[in-house]
């Protein structure tokens, strides 16, 4: 969601912030002149004109000014933004930038008179003592623009809150997105997306790393599965589907721990199990302690206790894995926690257990399928926004079909079905085996990967490790 408002636009139709019904509180906050420094803006333009001739002694200052990231939209005065664009157009065309060439370019665009004529260009040049100070003035202009963005975001939040539009989740989502973008310092897209020609060299470098096996996604923790899918990549979703009791949560938790062991920042959001249950499962899998020994009185031996104590410093205190059990179960709750993780240390993998338990927003006349579709799409968008991978668990019905399957599959890059031959046939000759059926794989072929189930340890492992 873009949050940029053009710098020259300032809406003064504000809500009543002090509650007395006349709106004076809000107007007093937002009818003041927004943060700006016109002298600094003129000085930046003057420095660009003074240093804009290639091969001149001062040309390096021209590059240093542009390297600050300053763009036309960050000027407060529209005329200054117009002049900046003309300067950049001359530079991109390989032309020198001086008062004469700049005036000619503005005349060609039909904008010279609008910006104040050639006399104003000379005013800008005279506003800067030397081109060497240009980068410092550019920093001032950017800082003022950032403050205006903060004011505009706060204004937008106030307007939405006073409008009575939307529900509580939508208000919170708007606030969080606005604050996240303010903190990141990236209020909106300020230039056109890159052309494929600009992306080509990065693409080749990336391709070389992939071909050399140096760039894979986060591991699921199962060799064949990692090879076929190339791991879990940022901005993508893996859906893990299974019937109740087959082990989809076990698989997801195993994958979360495997990824965290590589240093990836992971958040496991469980709508089904408590934090204590998740800790028990991790301890059982990593310490090879029978799960029922951890959940029943007197089950742990002295050796078991020693293993639990050892797991503290060796695993739990170093593992970058967060466990989140929301008070509610809405997508907004999960997204809020994920954004908090991204702000405080980063987030590489988000696990949601499971889709059908995410609450439907109240007061909306939508079907269950539409609600789950919205959750699925929301998780996909979240994976892109936070540049992380998402594992979303999904329940299968009695016929082995994924509920609300069409929308869920559309949003997923990888769809895995977890099947246990001995779930319905205890005497099956394949007892203890689990099939990870790759039904969709955007990065490779579909396949069936067989692993071993050690559910008494709450884990799946590669068959070779058995």
CATH number, domain with residue 70: 1.10.860.10
205 within a domain of the structure (yes/no): no
Q: Are residues 341 and 259 in the same domain?
A: yes
The DSSP secondary-structure symbol of 360 reads: P
Q: Are residues 236 and 367 in the same domain?
A: yes
Q: Which of 72, 73, 50, 37 is nearest to 121 (CA)?
A: 50
Last residue of a domain, one of 144, 171, 187: 187
Question: For each of the chain's 466 residues, which pLDDT tens digit applies?
Answer: 333 333 434 443 333 434 444 444 444 444 678 899 999 999 999 999 999 888 788 888 898 898 888 999 999 999 999 999 999 999 888 889 999 999 999 999 999 999 999 999 999 999 998 899 999 999 999 999 989 988 888 888 888 888 877 777 778 888 887 777 776 665 444 456 778 888 888 888 888 877 877 667 899 999 999 999 989 999 999 999 988 888 899 999 999 999 999 999 999 998 888 888 999 999 999 999 989 898 888 888 899 899 999 999 989 999 999 998 877 677 878 888 888 898 888 999 999 988 888 775 544 566 777 777 778 888 988 898 889 999 999 887 666 555 556 777 888 999 999 998 887 787 888 888 899 999 999 988 999 999 999 988 999 999 876 5
The CA–CA distances, whole Å, from 95 to 52, 65, 86 equal 9, 17, 11
Q: Are residues 166 and 231 in the same domain?
A: no
- Beta bridge partners, 241, equal 394, 417
Dihedral through CA 215, CA 220, CA 223, CA 225, nearest 10? Answer: -90
- Distance, CA of 278 to CA of 349 (rounded, Å): 17
The DSSP secondary-structure symbol of 94 reads: T
- Distance, CA of 196 to CA of 93 (rounded, Å): 20
What's the CATH number where 250 sits?
3.40.50.300
Q: Are residues 173 and 239 in the same domain?
A: no
**Contact assessment for residue 235 and residue 224, using Cβ atoms and an 8 Å cutoff:** no
**Contact assessment for residue 2 and residue 152, using Cβ atoms and an 8 Å cutoff:** no
Residue numbers of the domain that contains 379: 217-465
Last residue of a domain, one of 166, 187, 208: 187
235 within a domain of the structure (yes/no): yes
Q: Are residues 175 and 271 in the same domain?
A: no
**Contact assessment for residue 412 and residue 237, using Cβ atoms and an 8 Å cutoff:** yes
Q: Are residues 149 and 44 in the same domain?
A: yes
Q: Are residues 265 and 124 in the same domain?
A: no
> Burial level of 235, CB count in 10 A (0-12/13-18/19+)?
middle
407 within a domain of the structure (yes/no): yes
Q: Are residues 227 and 295 in the same domain?
A: yes
Q: Are residues 91 and 41 in the same domain?
A: yes
Q: Are strands 447-454 and 459-462 parallel, antiparallel or unpaired?
A: antiparallel
Our count of domains for the chain comes to: 2
212 within a domain of the structure (yes/no): no
């Amino acid at each position: 969601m873009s949050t940029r408002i053009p710098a020259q636009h300032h809406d003064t139709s504000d809500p009543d912030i002090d509650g007395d019904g006349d709106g004076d509180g809000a107007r007093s906050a937002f009818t003041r002149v927004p943060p700006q420094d016109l002298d600094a803006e003129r000085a930046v333009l003057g420095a660009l004109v003074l240093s804009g001739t290639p091969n001149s002694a001062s040309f390096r200052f021209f590059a240093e000014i542009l390297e600050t990231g300053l763009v036309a939209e960050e000027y407060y005065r529209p005329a200054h933004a117009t002049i900046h664009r003309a300067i950049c157009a001359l530079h991109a065309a390989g032309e020198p930038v001086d008062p004469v060439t700049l005036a000619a370019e503005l005349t060609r665009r039909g904008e010279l008179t609008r910006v104040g004529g050639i006399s104003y260009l000379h005013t800008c040049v005279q506003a800067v003592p030397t081109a060497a100070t240009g980068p410092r003035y550019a920093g001032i202009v950017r800082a003022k623009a950032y403050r205006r963005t903060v004011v505009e975001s706060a204004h937008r939040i106030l307007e939405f809150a006073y409008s009575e539009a939307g529900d509580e989740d939508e208000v919170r989502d708007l606030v969080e997105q606005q604050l996240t973008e303010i903190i990141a310092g990236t209020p909106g897209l300020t230039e056109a997306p890159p052309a494929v020609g600009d992306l080509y060299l990065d693409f080749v470098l990336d391709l070389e790393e992939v071909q050399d096996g140096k760039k894979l996604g986060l591991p699921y923790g199962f060799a064949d599965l990692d090879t076929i899918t190339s791991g879990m990549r940022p901005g993508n979703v893996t859906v893990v589907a299974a019937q109740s009791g087959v082990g989809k949560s076990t698989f997801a938790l195993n994958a979360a721990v495997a990824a965290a062991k590589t240093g990836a920042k992971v958040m496991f959001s469980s709508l089904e199990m408590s934090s204590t249950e998740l800790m028990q499962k991790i301890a059982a899998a990593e310490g090879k302690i029978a799960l029922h020994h951890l959940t029943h009185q007197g089950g742990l031996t002295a050796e078991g206790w020693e293993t639990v104590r050892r797991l503290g410093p060796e695993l739990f205190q170093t593992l970058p894995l967060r466990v989140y059990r929301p008070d509610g179960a809405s997508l907004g709750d999960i997204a809020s926690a994920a954004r908090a993780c991204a702000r405080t240390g980063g987030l590489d993998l988000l696990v949601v257990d499971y889709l059908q338990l995410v609450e439907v927003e109240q007061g909306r006349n939508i079907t269950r399928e539409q609600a789950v579709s919205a959750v699925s799409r929301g998780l996909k968008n979240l994976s892109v926004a936070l540049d992380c991978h998402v594992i979303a668990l999904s329940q299968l019905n009695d016929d082995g079909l994924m509920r609300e399957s069409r929308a869920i599959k559309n949003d997923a890059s990888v769809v895995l079905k977890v099947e246990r031959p001995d779930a319905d046939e205890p005497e099956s000759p394949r007892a203890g085996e689990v099939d990870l059926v790759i039904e969709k794989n955007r990065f490779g072929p579909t396949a069936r990967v067989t692993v071993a189930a050690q559910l008494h340890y709450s884990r799946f492992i590669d068959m070779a490790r058995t």
